[in-house]
Amino acid sequence: MMSFQVVSSRLKLRKLITVHGNITSLYLKNKYMEVKNTEIIIIGAGIAGVSAAVYAKRSGLDFVLCEEKAVGGQLLLMEKIDNYIGLGLGLKGWDLANNLDKTLSELGIPVVSGKITDSVINESASKVDVMIEGVTYEAKGCIVATGAAFEKLGVKGEAEFSGKGVSYCAVCDGFFFRDKNVAVVGGGNTAVEEAMYLSGIAKKVTLIHRRDKLRALDYLQKEMAQKDNIEVVYNSVVEEINGSRILEKISLKNVADNQRQELIIDGLFVAVGVKPNTEQFKGKLSMDEKGFIITNEEMQASSKLIWAAGDCRRRPLRQLITAASEGAIASMGAYKYLKGRYVSV
């Protein structure tokens, strides 16, 4: 028969779990998991995260750099880079990603591969616990450089035909649509760049935008106008994606006159923006309505233990060059917090 003391202890433990939630959950997991201590954990190895790691290394911080997928992040999806000073025109995204990986290797910075499963910010104890693939990293601070993911249209048929004609990356999947008819949805820089890239592969490209004019930079619009196989359809949205086994057509609605039409295509590329990869920090940090982390000019978030850099952070200009700068600033902000002073690196 179970003793009253054991039953009482179990009831107390159950109550403790209910009251303290994630912190108790993480504590209980730690009893059966490997725990590693470090000064800073950097989450994400895109250009912001790599920049933060380089500056952390040069300043002598003890840190861990982790990445769920591959070094470079969205660089691996970019056809070419024309707006990063000093790199020349037309640099391939994967070439820059390779350079980042090489830099990490030359500096002796390893990359821990794995997905974050939980995180706990404990300001009273001045520590952040981050769980990655069965290991709990206990740090004095954390730099979040998790980037952003592609937004979806949220229309009928999108999920069904994802990978069967619907794509979110022209560089990744454009090859499969050689000499076929494709459409791109969006009106910003990315949408126009995707359309131009596809124009060199596909027979015809239809760019669909919900407004009466594009938001892309002027030079991109002028460059696109020189392509004779790109047609722009304004004031229109995709209502439904249809097909049998693969994508065959989409239904469009004109938002100005409510007229509807069907467009027969082989591929649909969605370029309507991004959403930040900040799920693990929701409810723990101040964010804007879209989920981007709000920071001060030193990249410090609402918690004194957290800094954010790159596309996961609310910022006025989402560019590679600003992400690299933010990574460096975040790393130096963390150093100042830990050491009480800045250091020349």
Alpha-carbon separation of residue 174 from 77, 124, 171 (angstroms) = 11, 51, 6
| pLDDT score for 15 | 38
The backbone torsions φ and ψ at residue 51, rounded to the nearest 5 degrees and listed phi first, read -60, -45
Give the tens place of pLDDT for each residue, 153-177: 999 999 999 989 999 989 888 999 9
Q: Distance between terminal CA atoms of the chain?
A: 66
* Per annotation, catalytic residue among 95, 101, 118, 169: 169
Listed in sequence order, the residues at least 6 apart from 200 whose beta carbon sits closer than 8 Å to its beta carbon are: none
**Quick one: what percent of the chain has pLDDT higher than 90?**
78
Closest C-alpha to 56, from 180, 143, 166: 143
pLDDT of residue 23: 47
| Residue 142 annotated in active site | no
Model pLDDT, residue 2:
40
**Is 169 designated active site?**
yes
**Per-residue confidence band for 80, with pLDDT thresholds at 50, 70 and 90:** confident
d(CA 288, CA 291): 5
- Stretch(es) of the chain classified as CATH 3.50.50.60: 33-148+275-339, 166-272
Phi then psi for residue 21, to 5 deg, are 55, -120
Q: How do 230-233 and 204-208 pair as beta strands? A: parallel
The fraction of the chain above a pLDDT of 70, given in percent, is: 90
Q: Determine the pLDDT at residue 290.
A: 93
- pLDDT for 86-104, tens place per residue? 988 888 889 999 999 999 9
Task: Tell me which residue of 122, 136, 129, 113 sits closest to 31, measured CA to CA.
Answer: 136
Other Cβ atoms less than 10 A from the Cβ of 15: the count is 10
Other C-beta atoms within 10 Å of 152: how many? 15
Q: Exactly one of 62, 82, 172, 212 is catalytic; name it.
A: 172
- Name the residue with tokens 């100042």: 336
Q: What is the pLDDT of residue 344?
A: 63
Q: Answer yes or no: are the C-beta atoms of 100 and 147 closer than 8 Å.
A: no
Among the listed residues 90, 87, 110, 89, the one whose alpha carbon sits nearest the alpha carbon of residue 99: 87
Structure tokens at 237: 């949205």
Paired residues of 309 in beta bridges:
none
Catalytic (active site) residue 172: yes
Q: Does the pLDDT value for residue 77 go beyond 90?
A: no
Per-residue pLDDT at 109: 98
Q: How confident is the model at residue 20 (pLDDT cuts 50, 70, 90)?
A: very low
Catalytic residue among 95, 101, 118, 173: 173
- The CATH T-level fold of domain 166-272 is FAD/NAD(P)-binding domain (3.50.50)
Hey, what are 219's tokens?
A: 């030079």
SS3 339: helix
Instruction: Indicate whether 122 pLDDT > 70.
Output: yes
pTM of the model: 0.77
How far is it, in rounded angstroms, from Cα 286 to Cα 306? 11
Assign residue 214 a region (left: φ > 0; alpha: ψ between -120 and 50; beta: otherwise).
beta
CATH entry, 33-148+275-339, from 3.50.50.60, 3.20.20.70, 3.20.20.140, 3.40.630.30: 3.50.50.60
CA distances from residue 269 to 6, 163, 252 in whole angstroms, order as listed: 60, 11, 15
Tokens read off for 45? 């190895």
Give residue 78's pLDDT band: very low, low, confident or very high (50, 70, 90): confident
| b/e 261-271 (16+ beta carbons within 10 angstroms → b) | eebebbbbbbb
More confident: 165 or 2: 165
